[in-house]
Structure 1
């Protein structure tokens, strides 16, 4: 049996070093398969040797050196006397361990490679979780409810496309960073949302995906601490995830924000999220760029988590923030969320008019029908509310959400 301290060190090393090692090898050899396989082999060796040899004083350096040797061994075995092999000749088996410290450039390069716009969003998510998160193919496939073979093929095709298109292992030019970073943040937020409110399957919440998205958000914030949207996304995820333990009942039913036990919220995550929001507010006040989508969403969540009770929520501030959101993202979903704030401020009749304007755009979206059902219920229009709940239930993929909507529907007067 592996000693507990060794197990803990292996887990910690996997969390802290996987992305660093894969990124470093990918830069050095220009081959994602080689980088991933050599890193996995290095960890396999650690599992075998650390229990007997002890934990090395520099676990990251030990793993990097071992992964380098595994990569070179593979190149030699395959007799690949090409540019990659020649470029690697200066590395010898007795090379000293590489220093362990922030290698931001390598990890940032790998993030931009995994989230390259030439790849489909599904491929970007899969590659990011595999190469930067270190999740197994089986874990990613389970999280997104796809067959393991399908997920493996998706990753293989994405790697092949990167190789065929000669996508460089480099941070994009300054003129392209903003556009490319938007795609990176979208991938991380998609992973978080799929964990926080799973779109299908039997699980209401997929905690590993939430945790992984936040870990990636922290990594991005470490690499790009002055980027407002990076900070905003991390704050948004922290403030949202702080409510995780209070949002599903013991019977598996969703508990809406206004009904949650706020004593169950994670105050540490809330404090951290609020500090990041204040940091961005100070930057904007000092003449920095206007806040983007993630910063505004984080500010909205800061208002919600600042209220001691649902009744104390400052809906006027939330509406003002959604008004700003609509200027940069006038999507139907933003307008729906704005309509919910209007309902709280101006009453259900005004809110219903705002919601009904979105029927054509959101008729297939469960949250639209759920919001409409709630407003109709407040207006006493039970028949119409029942029909709206039925539509919401039909489109909802999350079991906890379906349970909540079904109960609300069944409580309506006949």
Structure 2
């Protein structure tokens, strides 16, 4: 057998270091080649490091929470040849058993030594056992001068038990408990970017509302046929995406960002879709989304959402993007002011669809309405562009045939 090193792979160019988030094995565990041993977390993604050979996890060099860099050794594998796999592992188990027996023997010897040291103590073995069973303070008993009276000993034990129960009861009745946990790398990165957006942009938000009945009608009429044809449900997000792309074409300032004293305009459309995960908010990007069909967009969103929930997003899927869409409506939000995703100049917030009374041609009608919110960087985008952008989206969603005709 020989020992192999578990090494951190080359981290992405923009990532300086990472943190160990989880070891799937502990020292002494048997491992198989390509089995995931450890997960490391960067600012953007979780990277799984598999076993490079069959064997036993010999040692964990860097434990959970440690900061590591590219090509750093974080553990050791005792390699086992496949032809001799069972035999070697049994030998390893025997070695562990022998070590445990030696440790147990040493503990027995130490116990005997302790007994010898205390041979002049007045406490009998039964007394010591009683004290140990109740996890009480032996010094109080030794200093009590109870003349070996068992009744007096019981009184001492009862008093100690009362004190102990009182302390436990006082603690359990106290609901003012605090817990301090370190922030994950992703959460720290989110915090940094939010502060950056707040401090380095002239951000404000404008609102509009849209009647979603035409989209709802399309989904009711063609939803089943769409799913049978394309193998994916017809959702709302693909309509929003299509409307955003057409609006960006009309208002190129919103598809741009400030770089020093320059403005960078994009003639392509890479859209970030905000996804809430157990680790935090991530914004994977869909590149060249203007060339994708409604079905392709729906499939891609589902794929990225699944990857995000499982921590499987790749760095390239989280890098770049010209404009972000975030959907607070999935959590029931009626209205919000989303924060810009730097260095982008704007972000669209979409919200829950709710039936509301609306005035239509002088009559009150109950319609499924949804609020739209556009947060934008006023250094680059003026009110005319921001309001016009939302109006364009509203018109396209309320007349979805225009999305197909691109008019």
Instruction: Considering fraction of residues, name the structure with more helix.
Output: 1
User: TM-score with structure 1 length normalisation?
Assistant: 0.24
Larger Rg: 2
TM-score by length of 2: 0.24
